[in-house]
Structure 1
Amino acid sequence: MDMADYKRLLTECFPQIDEEIVQYVNGVLEDDGGDFETPEDLFDAIGALLIQADESKTEEDVKEICDRLFYLHFNGNVASDAPHKILNAPVHLRAMAENNLDKVADNTSIWITKRENTSQVNQKKLQKAEAKIQKKLEKRAVQDSQPKKVENGIGNFELATASQQINRRDEKLDASGTNRSCDIHIEDFDVAFGERVLITGATIHLAYGRRYGLVGRNGMGKTTLLKMISSFQLKIPSHISILHVEQEVAGDETIALQSVLSCDEKRESLIQEEKLLTQQCQMSSLGKGDNQLSARLSEIYHELEAMEADKAPARAAVILNGLGFTQAMQCQRTKEFSGGWRMRLALARALFSRPDLLLLDEPTNMLDMKAIIWLENYLQTWPSTLLVVSHDRSFLDSISTDILHLHSRMIDNYRGNYEVFHKTREDRLKNQQKEYEAQKQYRDHIQIFIDRFRYNANRASQVQSKLKLLEKLPELKPVEKEPEVILKFPDCEKLSPPILELDEVSFQYNPETKIFSSVCVNATMESRICIVGENGAGKTTLLKILLGDLQPVKGVRHAHRNLKIGYFSQHHVDQLEMDLTSVELMAQRFPGKNSEYYRNCLGGFGVSGELGMRPVSSLSGGQKSRVAFAVMCMTNPNFFILDEPTNHLDMETIEALGHSLTKFQGGVILVSHDERLIRMICRELWVVKDGKVQTLEGGFEEYRRIIEDELQTQEC
């Protein structure tokens, strides 16, 4: 490329640029241009010098100019995309080779020639520019070495990558458009997050019409896998429709019911076309209309009838009602709902649209017990393929036909629900352990013979035979067991009753809305109480009254003078300082202790080793919850009030939480919708409904029976 081309571009972008800088840029491009693989490389080489040439230019402006220079150098055309040099004229290589046979010693051969450096650059300016470039590179290296902020435990999804083995036969079928199967085969795939490998060499087969539960420890990559599938980074047949419920519906003027109906794009399109054509027919001359319009209208009516479009509003209303939307709420604008209700609306839209593959990530987090039971019943008849990540063991037991277990960067497939999976896996691990021990015993027996007769000449042939046999045996691998989850609440001071009670308590935020009236409840150091009720019934308000954060308008809250309450909010995890490490966070909240003390406290909740020294933002949701538990226990409370403590926790951690709360010496009141946790620890149920708090003697079984009766009544 001629220097005049570079000069023309540079003077156009930098009217006041020095001639020496132009010559320097030309020299860099002529001498080292082949070493630049991307425009970023060129920017690193000359960017600092160009920014100095015109301080009014931003870094982004200079990057754009470097892009143009890069493509100009390789293509001779700024607008081209392919970085290849274009020769000015055809070259006959054979003729050139023959011409050079008698000029072996001449360095002008195209095979060995080096271009002379014709640029003349001011050495002082060159040194100054190179120093700036070096300083910039060092600064970038420091930035790259620092830990990057991540979100949602695993981080920014843009850092995640996937690769897979593509089946050529399936690829040809997909390309030809003849593949009509809705089964999904993702073979031999890897998923990584930055430098961390999450899944390697895994294969999953999703048969159409089956319901899969994806389980595994926190931070293993379950959510990332769902996102890889929904974004088509893991390739599946193009004709299969996918819907991933992960973001709440954007709030606008749309009515909730219409928001759900609008998911069926084909139905909406036909209805809009029908309205338009009807208007055109009415406006046509003499009212006779157009034959083509009439024919198209007939086709539309036939298609709408075939898809039962008239039944769609009723089906959408049933779904919304099941998820807790009253008739009045179904007529509200979406912008009037809170984030939790918008997530329910997103779930309703997904259930209504019925994609070939529905991906759900922790769908029960946003639901109360009534909505969870309704969703269980609804999904049991789900017609297409379902892949759900959930920590709710009872929910998975109810809906799953198969379980995909993500562990040790592998995925194992089990037939049956979670209960069957748990039993099958335990039996499999026991058999693997027995096989390992038998193999080890056999190896040890052979090794004893070898060691005993190694130097016995009469047994030399037998020893050699045993050595060969030992070499041929398969590699002995111990059974991989996931580490046990640790949650250990500290010992606390025992108190004599009365501990915590509400006597004839009434509460209201304003005169028009009464939340509670005449509430009489009490708790002791032995209490294990679960508060249940529909969303919006006042469960969190009741907790705040028990905590003393809200004062009753009538009645009395009595608490023991030495009562120390540990409160875990459902938003507790979001209130942690994400830029700090767990140890730094503990030191900031509770100063005066040494680092070892904070590490021991965190270790009691499984945040040990390097986890305690990582930024909180880099931890998974479950690991953040453990940090929140450790922070809660720093004051050594003797009574726990927990609001949705199982959110973000995996099943093993929920199990450990249940055992730890059972052993805790103080009292416990919690709000939870996790059926297994409630059954594990709670001896008493408080039902919040219609401004009252009722103690249910029949426990959870009685409460579930009441809900199921209500759902049956609604259906009738």
Structure 2
Amino acid sequence: MLIGLQNVTFEFGARTIVEDATWHIQPNERIGLIGYNGTGKSTLLKVLVGEYLPSKGTVERSRGTTIGYLHQDLLSFDTNDSILQVALGAFERVLQLEKEIEELGIELEKTGDEKTLHEYSDRLHEMDTLDGYNIHHKTEEVLQGLGFSNADLQRPYKEYSGGWRMRVLLAKMILQQPDVLLLDEPTNHLDLPSIEWLEKYLTHYKGSVVIVSHDKYFLNRMVTKIVEIYQREIHQYTGNFEYYEKEKELRVEMQQRAFENQQDYIRQQERFIERFKAKASKAAQAQSVQKRLDKIERIEDVEIERPNIRINFQVDKIPGKILATLKHVTKRFGDNTIIENASAEIDRGDKIALIGANGKGKSTLLRIIAGVEQFSEGERVWGHNVQESFYAQHQLEDLNLNNTILDEMKECGSQKTDVELRTLLGCFLFGGEAVDKKIKVLSGGEKARVALAKTIVSKANFLMLDEPTNHLDMHSVELLIEALKKYEGSLILVSHDRYFVQKTANKIWEIADHEIKEFKGTYDEYVEWKERMAAQQKNAEKVEKPAKAEVKPEPAPAPKPAANNNQGNAINKEAQKELQKHQRQFQQLEEKINKLKTQQAKLQEQLGNPETYSDKGKFTQTESNYKKVSEEIAQLNAQYETTFEKIVELEAQV
């Protein structure tokens, strides 16, 4: 065990977060810590690192265990140092050694002292042991994986926004390689390529990882164990998030059945006691039954903490066939071109997801479609009868700070009753008296949820949503997905939540080469297509090399007249024999390469399957097999090229 809780009770004010909870984190575990908003996931991480002390029980930690803890409060850190220097802070001892080696080197040049030479040698040896010469390369690799370009590395940390700062601190933390990494919502500030990079990095991370996340896709691919805070208890499930969902349903069902059976039994016994307690002949028996009933361990009813409230959209008008058209649109920010001469069309029934890396202009394109962003050239044409509603972070500024949440919702003109509005707000995590809070006292996340609720309650037939799931818990995301599936209007959204995108979009837009590339299909189909295209491209590049050899070789020098014609015939026959041998080899190599490519494609498909990631052993074996097959293909390709060149050479001789 590295770290854990033993019979811990923790109270936060008047509220109990966990009661008599035990949880031990073992080496190399991949754990997803989950629970509804407000159940205390982040608080529990603070108990683990010692920021909060438990009311009862103990927090246990093995001697020498190191912990890395990534959380939102780290954003208060500020510095003029470059982001590379901040991330290099992970290697304190190596940086100190660099200074000492430099100082000792200068002293050694001056004095040639033997003691200084020994110290210098010791420092060099320690530097070598710590792999200190590679820290710059490692740091750059991790920062680039998290979305920073080479040019960014020397920019001051303080120039970056909160999301990018969090990436730098995440880079520093994973470079420190603690025994346990505690990550609180690590994907919140990452784009898709960075999330995919982090998944791969953490899968091979040598320590244990505990992740608090609302990203189901990420949890499914990353974790092999789920720890849930539910009804002030810790429940553990061995498997990924998908396994947990099925297993929890079974557990709840079994507990519900056990509770109902026990209630039937209790009622039956109580009827017996009530009926016979007054009869002298049965009084002792009734008393005995009562004692037995008092001692019985009561099974708790399974509370539905979050009832399945439905979000229902209403659409007032049916729009024309085409909602919006972009014609030859160009948008630039100074020298930075976002899109150039780009054209696209949004049709009735389209549910489009705009995806890709940060900085490619997804939100800018969404604002152009919404008509709130100017562009340099081209035309934006709005369709007939389109009633739009646009949700983005800047919408927060439009909220009336003096309104209560409920009043703000009433002003949307939805004609919904107070009860209906309260029900809807419950989906966005505003229950009970929370709806009477003033907008001005809300946090940024709470304001974002109010703005999203306002977008949903409008009777728009075209929704434009920029990161709508950012401040929602898993349950609310599910409710939103369900609502958007039933929504009769059209929508375009920007989101880094792959699960949300997969469940809601029927088209994918990607900004590539300053153009809008459209894929008709779901996100999973799009990923599969991209992988297929990449594999085909790779194969085409490999085939291109021998294909180049097909260019007719330079004419061989005219053979010298043979002194003996029989000797010439013998040479030709020998060359013919050699040629046939190489042609057979060439055919065999071709067959082997094709077989291995089929095998490689199957393994690639397995690596793209989330189920493979849920089993660490299976993933490692599959990845190892994939590497082995790829290496064999590379070797055979080299032989293939050599054989082909030899055939060309021999053909010239025959």
Which bin holds the TM-score, normalised by the shorter protein?
0.7 to 0.9
Give the superposition deviation at 1:452. Answer: 4.4
2:292 partner letter: L
How far did 1:393 drift? 0.7
Does the 8 A contact of 1:644 with 1:670 survive in 2? yes
What's the secondary structure of 2:90's corresponding residue? Answer: coil
**Amino acid paired to 2:26:** A
Matches of 2:425 and 2:435 in 1, distance apart? 7
Question: Once structures 1 and 2 are overlaid, which stretch shifts more, 323-332 or 391-400?
Answer: 323-332
Q: Which residue of 1 aligns with 2:146?
A: 323
- Pair 1:436 & 2:268 matched: no
The aligned residue for residue 184 of structure 2 is 361
CA distance in 2, matches of 1:514, 1:520: 15
Residue 282 of structure 1 pairs with residue 105 of structure 2: no
Task: State how far apart, in whole Å, the 1-side matches of 2:282 and 2:408 are.
Answer: 67
SS at match of 2:501: helix
Give the direction of change, closer, same or farther, for the CA distance of 1:260–1:282 in structure 2 (3 Å limit): same
2:180–2:208 Cα contact (<8 Å) kept: yes
User: How do 1:575-614 residues align onto structure 2 when only pairs under 5 Å count?
Assistant: 581-586=404-409, 599=422, 602-603=425-426, 605=428, 607-614=430-437
Q: Distance in 1 between matches of 2:419 and 2:86?
A: 54
AA paired with 1:676? Y
Offset from partner CA, 1:499-541 (integer Å, 9 cap, x none): 4222323222346332112322222342211110111111001
Write the mapping of 1:621-700 to structure 2, written as runs, cut at 5 A. Answer: 624-700=447-523
Aligned partner of residue 191 in structure 1, secondary structure: strand
2:17 aligns with 198
1:212 aligned residue (22, 27, 31):
31
Q: Using the alignment, how far apart are the partners of 1:333 and 1:277 within structure 2? A: 31
Q: CA deviation at 1:587?
A: 6.3
- Out of 551, 557, 560, which is 2:380 matched to? 557
Specify the SS of the correspondent of 1:202: strand
Question: Which amino acid in structure 1 is aligned with residue 10 of structure 2?
Answer: V
Q: Share of identical aligned residues, percent?
A: 33
CA contact (8 A) 2:317 2:385 kept: no
- After alignment, is 203-212 or 582-591 more displaced? 582-591
Count of residues paired in the alignment: 530
CA distance in 1, matches of 2:369, 2:309: 29
> What is the TM-score with the length of structure 2 in the denominator?
0.73
Give the distance between the partners of 1:500 and 1:591, measured in 2 at CA. Answer: 22
Q: Distance in 1 between matches of 2:133 and 2:398?
A: 47
Alpha-carbon distance in structure 1 between the residues aligned to 2:280 and 2:452: 67
Q: CA deviation at 1:615?
A: 4.8
Q: CA deviation at 1:574?
A: 8.4
2:64 pairs, out of 223, 239, 244, with 239
Residues 1:261 and 2:84 are matched in the alignment: no
Aligned residue type for 1:242: I
Change (3 A) 1:280 1:601: same
SS at match of 1:264: helix
* Residues 1:249 and 1:505: Cα distance change in structure 2 (over 3 Å): farther
Secondary structure of 1:550 counterpart: coil
Q: 1:447 and 2:270 equivalent?
A: yes
Pick closer, same or farther for the CA change 1:591–1:702 going to 2, 3 Å.
closer
1:132-173 Cα distance to aligned partner (Å, 9 max, x none): xxxxxxxxxxxxxxxxxxxxxxxxxxxxxxxxxxxxxxxxxx
CA deviations over 1:653-708 (Å, ceiling 9, x no partner): 11111001111221121111212111212111111122111111353224434776
Contact 2:412–2:458 (CA under 8 A) maintained in structure 1: no
Q: Aligned partner of 1:276: which letter?
A: E
C-alpha displacement at 1:352, in angstroms?
1.0
- Separation (CA, whole Å) in 1 of partners of 2:345 and 2:70: 40
Q: Rg larger in 1 or in 2?
A: 1
Give a deviation string over 1:298-353, Cα, whole Å, max 9, x none: 11111111111122222222212211222222343434433322221111111111
Distance between the aligned counterparts of 2:78 and 2:512, measured in 1?
A: 29
Q: In the aligned structure 2, how far is the partner of 1:583 from the partner of 1:508?
A: 39
TM-score by length of 1: 0.67
Segment of structure 1 superposing worse, 290-299 or 506-515: 506-515
Distance 1:436 1:595 in 2: 36
Give the whole-Å Cα distance in 2 for the aligned partners of 1:386 and 1:631: 38
**In 1, Cα distance between the equivalents of 2:531 and 2:143?**
17
SS in 1 for 2:304: coil
Output the CA distance in 2 between the equivalents of 1:198 and 1:478.
Answer: 19
Measure how far apart 1:489 and its partner are. 3.8
Q: Is 1:472 aligned to 2:295, yes or no?
A: yes
Summarize the Cα distance change of 1:583–1:702 in structure 2 as closer, same or farther, 3 Å threshold: closer
TM-aligned CA distance change 1:265 to 1:711, over 3 Å = farther
Other-structure match for 1:142: none
CA gap 1:487/1:464 in 2 versus in 1, 3 angstroms:
closer
Aligned amino acid, residue 240 of structure 1: T
Long gaps (5+) in structure 2: 54-58, 539-626, 631-654
Q: How does 1:382-397 map to 2 (within 5 A)?
A: 382-397=205-220
- Cα separation, 1, equivalents of 2:309 and 2:449: 10
Q: Does structure 1 conserve the Cα–Cα contact (< 8 Å) formed by 2:324 and 2:383? A: no
Q: Residues 626 and 339 from structure 1, CA distance in 2 versus in 1: closer, same or farther, beyond 3 angstroms?
A: closer
Look up the match of 1:492: 315
Checking the alignment, whether the CA contact within 8 Å between 2:403 and 2:439 is kept in structure 1 is: yes
Which amino acid in structure 2 is aligned with residue 218 of structure 1?
N
